Amino acid sequence: MADMVKRVKKPISEEELKNLKYLTNKTFSKIGSENYKQKLAYNLLNTVKADDQRQFFWILLRAFNSRKDDGDIKTLSSKLQRIYPLTPVDFEKVAYSIIMGIISSESEYGGE
Amino acid sequence: MNDVRTLGEFGDDHSDGYSKRHTELRFTGNWFVDAGILGFVNLMEEVYGWSLEDLKKFLKESPETIYYWYFPIAFVHHNHKVRDTGIQLPKEALSEADCKDNLFEEAWNLICKHYSTTTKKGKEKIDLGSSGPYYYFHNLLFFQPGRSKEKQKEDFMEVIGIKAVNKEILIHMDKTINKFLPSADESSNVSYVKSFVETSNLKYLLPNFVFILTFPFAFLSKDHYKANTLFYSPNLSFTYNVNKRLEKLLESQKQYKSILNVTWEAILDSIMETESIWSLENMYMIKYNVGKNQRLLSAEYIGIPKLQANIILDDTIRNALNKNVQVRNKKNPVWVWLLEEFIKNKPLFPLVLNNLQLRINEINMYTSLNTLIYTLSTDNQIKYLEKNKLFTPDFFKKYRETLFNIKDDFRKMIAPYNNISKVFTRDERDKLSRPLISTVRKRNRKAFTNILLKALLSKNNSNQETIKSLNKYLFDNIVLNDKNWENYALAFIAGLVYGGIEDGRYGEES
């Protein structure tokens, strides 16, 4: 019976994307060096290019692993858990929001 | 004294001379009648050299003299002038006649004296031909070859309103009088009228029917355009001025330009001089061609949409769009006038894309960045309004805000301009613009963002504030913008192509 019920996912809203970017920005101000973040962003961009959602989140979660007790990381992880898996269109937007959050993290929070 | 009149009494204005509304020369709002009024002004100017202001003054002083004396002589003389018969305009002074019948009688005697001819059958008649603009009236009333002088006089008297109208073709006007009207047969399904234009109705608008005879003189006729063209707006002075300018421009132009292109030059010049800016919202280009047997070959009305007219009224936007840009058409680069495309309601985005592609791939030409960005921001708003069709709750609100929104979009689109040149060198900008424009052409937002983000990542030594600002532009206007991200992406590429403070070209006009 449960299989008969189709679950239709709502598209990710603009507000949610802005929030994701903000949270990523805040989180990555505490993670890694500039070079590390640059390399990470490059790798993430390649997964977006290849439409590889699984690989994208695998790389991202591995980056979180070093500070898994941090409150912001917990919030961000739970948000990602809620929206995963994503439609291709939503994945593109979510991925770029996260990558842009990473790229601009240093200037806003003066990361390590 | 009772100022209130019943509707029927309005027709009695002629009884005590011309009423005030009949001595003032102004448009009625009906282009078919107004073209005749403009033709009347043109005829009097060509024959007597009077300007519009002169004619208005004379009509106020003595309308009878103008309509019953000057007009018949002008009409017949002009007919001869067109055919180059060599007859000079009679110099006889106007006698002190104050009755309209006498005025016309004297004018007619003068016409008989100078312009009479004898037919092969020995009949005397006024020589009237149907060359040039008169072909429009081929075989109409006094133009008929077998018409006697007396009959011709009667025709004239009916047209200028001295004699009651008796002829069917003057009572119920149709294609015989004006080629733009349907013939009585064509409108046979309209059972309650014999024609759409009846003299009984027209007399409330006009003092007489001279305007049906002056209709073709309103149109400009230039051989290379192969059509008779009239610019029309509901304001007589504005229409008169624009058509005068248009005539001069057509005569003076060395290379062929589209008639609409030349008309816009005339309109924009006239806007500066007159205060009839409101007329912009109701402009038409009317073209016609009359073939053999007076068949109307083509008639084209070009209305200018209200939205476009509204936008053009803004000096900044108009100046920005009033430019020619080079684009590739099939194999060869051609020049396109942005304002013309805009008035025709054609999308502007492909033109900017094409122009930038041409610049990136082949030609070392320069287009003002202001022009490109205003074109994109205007296109952006037009697209937006088109999506918000009529009957949506905020349509009228958005319609009014369009000008503000275009300028707001412009500010957003021009914002990354300075930062682009701070981050990327000239060579880097050139290299980056090629793949980026390809992604916009393919409408591939993912690829556009990916390429640009990688380029920004490679610049981690640059000022972080600058990178942050470009990043924000990319996020707000490309990633979050599903509706028209292409316009913002193209504005960014325009910044890459034409950017660079060191170039010192910001705001320069092409």
Torsion of CA B338, B341, B346, B347, to 10 degrees: -10
B448-497 per-position pLDDT tens digit: 999 999 999 888 766 788 888 999 999 999 999 988 899 999 999 999 99
Chain B's closest residue to A37, CA to CA, is: B457
Report d(CA B230, CA B240) in Å as an integer.
10
Q: Of B11-25, B44-58, B163-177, B480-494, give the lowest mean pLDDT range.
A: B11-25
pLDDT, position B388: 62
B494-510 per-position pLDDT tens digit: 999 987 544 444 433 33
- ∠ at Cα B61 (B55, B63), nearest 5°? 70
| Mean per-residue pLDDT, B395-420 | 84
CB B470 within 8 A of CB B369: no
Q: Is the pLDDT of residue B234 over 90?
A: no
Q: Of B107-121, B209-223, B383-397, give the lowest mean pLDDT range.
A: B383-397
> Closest Cα to residue B87, out of B120, B118, B127, B124?
B127
DSSP state, residue B142 = G
B285-340 per-position pLDDT tens digit: 788 877 776 677 666 676 777 778 778 778 888 889 988 888 988 778 888 889 88
Strands (E) located in B148-247:
172-173, 197-198, 220-222, 227-232
What count of other Cβ atoms lies within 10 Å of the Cβ of residue B393? Answer: 8
Distance from CA of B462 to the nearest CA of A (A): 11
pLDDT, position B445: 95
Phi-psi region of B188 (alpha: psi -120 to 50; beta: other; left: phi over 0): alpha
Strands (E) located in B263-406:
284-290, 296-303, 324-329, 332-337
The answer, for A83 touching chain B at a CB cutoff of 8 Å, is no
pLDDT category of residue B3 using cuts at 50, 70 and 90: very low
Residue with tokens 């070392």: B364
pLDDT, position A1: 44
B39-65 per-position pLDDT tens digit: 999 999 999 999 999 999 998 888 888
Its ipTM equals 0.87
Report d(CA B311, CA B321) in Å as an integer.
10
B91-140 per-position pLDDT tens digit: 776 665 556 668 888 888 888 888 888 877 778 888 888 888 888 887 78
Question: Does the CA dihedral A86-A89-A92-A98 come out positive or negative?
Answer: negative
For residue A38, the chain B residues in CB contact (below 8 A) are 457, 460
The answer, for B483 touching chain A at a CB cutoff of 8 Å, is no
pLDDT category of residue B191 using cuts at 50, 70 and 90: low
pLDDT, position B472: 92
Structure tokens at B161: 């309103």
CB A77 within 8 A of CB B479: no
pLDDT, position A19: 92
Q: Is the pLDDT of residue B28 over 50?
A: yes
pLDDT, position B62: 84
| % of chain B residues with pLDDT over 90 | 21
Q: Is the pLDDT of residue B10 over 50?
A: no
The answer, for B468 touching chain A at a CB cutoff of 8 Å, is yes
SS3 content of chain B, % helix, strand, coil (to 5): 60, 10, 30
Report d(CA B248, CA A33) in Å as an integer.
71
CB B231 within 8 A of CB B263: yes
For residue B468, the chain A residues in CB contact (below 8 A) are 104, 107-108
DSSP state, residue B179 = T
DSSP state, residue B93 = P
pLDDT category of residue A99 using cuts at 50, 70 and 90: very high
The answer, for B474 touching chain A at a CB cutoff of 8 Å, is yes
pLDDT, position A108: 44
A36 vs B489, residue with greater confidence: B489
Tell me what the pLDDT averaged over chain B comes to: 79
Structure tokens at B505: 């070209």
CB proximity under 8 Å: B 366-425 to A: none
pTM to 2 decimal places: 0.69
